[in-house]
Amino acid sequence: MSAPATPIEVPIERLPRELAAARQAHAALQADQHAIPGKMKALTKRVAAGDMTAVVEEARLRVRLEDDLPAELEAAATRIAELEREYAATLTEHNRRTLAAEVQRTEAPRDRLADQFRAALETVERLAGAHTHANRAAAHAVAAAAGNADLAPQAFAAHSLAGYAEAIGAALASWMACWDDRNIDRPLIQRITDARGRAVQAALAAFDAGGRDAQKC
């Protein structure tokens, strides 16, 4: 049975802990530095009395205070500065990658829906051509049945969907160009009550539904 894999710790998670530990170590050295003079003062009488244990301890504390601690404090401060620079660079790179990933995540559905829109538009265009041809044929048949060829254009216009296509196409183009959906004048659209207005209202309802569907993805 193989041993479980060791989790990989990424710098963005590791560095904050290392930085906190380095700052804590630096603070402990500073506390030691501040405490030593008091410890040395407490040994004064014993040193004056010739207590060799106190003399040795006082000498050790002096070396610690004057030689060791300054070097250790400098090294600790340098380490903190190095970690801060590394963490700042790591955080910048992490944010850059996060933002780049978000760009890729949001571009994928945009491009997929654009392809679907173009395909649907091509279908509509083909249907428009087919309907126009069928409407023209029907108009000729109506005129022939009435024995009046001049009736054909009127019959054709009565069943043409050009007005709907023009109204809905212009409305869709204006809505798709809106950076903010709040810029769409919905009250005005709701006040249009003719056949074209109702078609535009239905188109707007479908447009808004598509936007809600996209937000769920």
Taking only the tens place, the pLDDT of each residue in 4-21 is: 444 445 678 899 999 999
DSSP H helices in the chain = 11-42, 44-48, 52-63, 69-146, 151-158, 162-176, 186-190, 195-216
In whole angstroms, what is the distance from residue 176 CA to residue 178 CA? 6
Taking only the tens place, the pLDDT of each residue in 53-108 is: 999 999 999 999 999 999 999 999 999 999 999 999 999 999 999 999 999 999 99
- Rounded to an integer, the average pLDDT of 118-122 is 94
Q: Which two tokens stand for residue 179?
A: 């950076």
In whole angstroms, what is the distance from residue 134 CA to residue 140 CA? 10
What pLDDT shows up at residue 93?
A: 93
Q: pTM of this prediction?
A: 0.63
> At residue 3, does pLDDT exceed 80?
no
What pLDDT shows up at residue 114?
A: 94
Average pLDDT for the chain: 91
> At residue 217, does pLDDT exceed 70?
no
What pLDDT shows up at residue 196?
A: 84
Taking only the tens place, the pLDDT of each residue in 136-185 is: 999 999 999 999 999 999 999 999 999 889 999 999 999 999 888 888 88
Long-range contacts of residues 172-180, Cβ cutoff 8 Å, at least 24 apart: 172/203, 172/207, 175/204, 175/207
Tokens 């410890």 found at: 39
How many CB atoms are located within 10 Å of the residue 215 CB?
7
Contact 207, 172 (CB under 8 A): yes
